[in-house]
Amino acid sequence: MARIAITTTTKAAYAGGANGCNIGLGLARNRTRIAVCVVSLMVSYLLQGRESVAGNEARVRFVTTGNLTILRKYDDDECKKGEQELARLRNGFLLANPGPPLQKIGMPLWEFHENAATELPVATGKRFHGMFYSYKGDLKCGIPFSFDFREGRDYEVVYDFPNIVAKCAVKIFLLEGNKASVRRTVQPVLPHRNPEACRHAFDKPRLF
């Protein structure tokens, strides 16, 4: 279970690293919220089709089980370099999605709402660093995670934020087997070496 969880609420928490630490982060009560008006309604869409895995790549499905969830990747495990938004996910209707288009590239075991997951080719040979975060009421919970995806394999990275009591978590599965019988196998992930390292990216003011 790869996770660093970061949470913000009227009380906040930050949970940290794969299989590991939790960190908390507090926001003042009755914190002012910024409402962003989207002038043009944008409807998220799915790019469908089948893609084989290219050399030096793995196929990775990123999934959320809950409300609007943002996924970003970084070039380092301190979330300081190369920030890039990969997806905006929601396990349900998503009226407007200003993020990258969600994709399907033919991975097995798809059993999600069309807005809840995206499938992406991920370069192997170097460690992947990412961070999920989402809101539940006035609680924000984020999780930095790092993982070494292996070339030619299929993986599933699942962000779960069950309720305002439980901290959010990330689990990583290897999808293995033949076409007739594919199974999910939980992957061990080491705790983040410094759970506080990505707090600055978590706290960074954003318009939406």
Asked, for residue 82, whether it belongs to a domain, the answer is yes
Angstrom distance (rounded) from CA 79 to CA 58:
22
Read off the pLDDT band of 102 (50, 70, 90): very high
Asked, for residue 34, whether it belongs to a domain, the answer is no
pLDDT at 27: 31
Q: pLDDT tens digits for 134-192?
A: 988 888 999 999 999 999 999 999 999 987 767 889 999 999 998 789 999 999 987 77
In the sheet where 181-186 sits, what is the strand order?
117-123, 57-64, 154-160, 169-178, 181-186
Structurally, the chain folds into a number of domains equal to 1
Asked, for residue 35, whether it belongs to a domain, the answer is no
Domain hosting residue 59, numbered range? 4-29+42-203
Task: Answer yes or no: are the C-beta atoms of 68 and 97 closer than 8 Å.
Answer: no
Angstrom distance (rounded) from CA 208 to CA 1:
28
Token pair recorded at residue 117: 């997951």
Task: Answer yes or no: are the C-beta atoms of 118 and 89 closer than 8 Å.
Answer: yes
Asked, for residue 171, whether it belongs to a domain, the answer is yes
- DSSP, collapsed to helix, strand or coil, labels residue 202 as helix
Asked, for residue 91, whether it belongs to a domain, the answer is yes
* Closest C-alpha among 110, 66, 56 to residue 88: 66
Instruction: Tell me the C-alpha to C-alpha distance, in Å, between residue 45 and each of 48, 87, 114, 208.
Output: 9, 12, 9, 19
Q: Quick one: what percent of the chain has pLDDT higher than 70?
A: 73
pLDDT at 130: 95
Token pair recorded at residue 115: 């807005």
Q: Is the pTM of this model over 0.85?
A: no
Asked, for residue 100, whether it belongs to a domain, the answer is yes
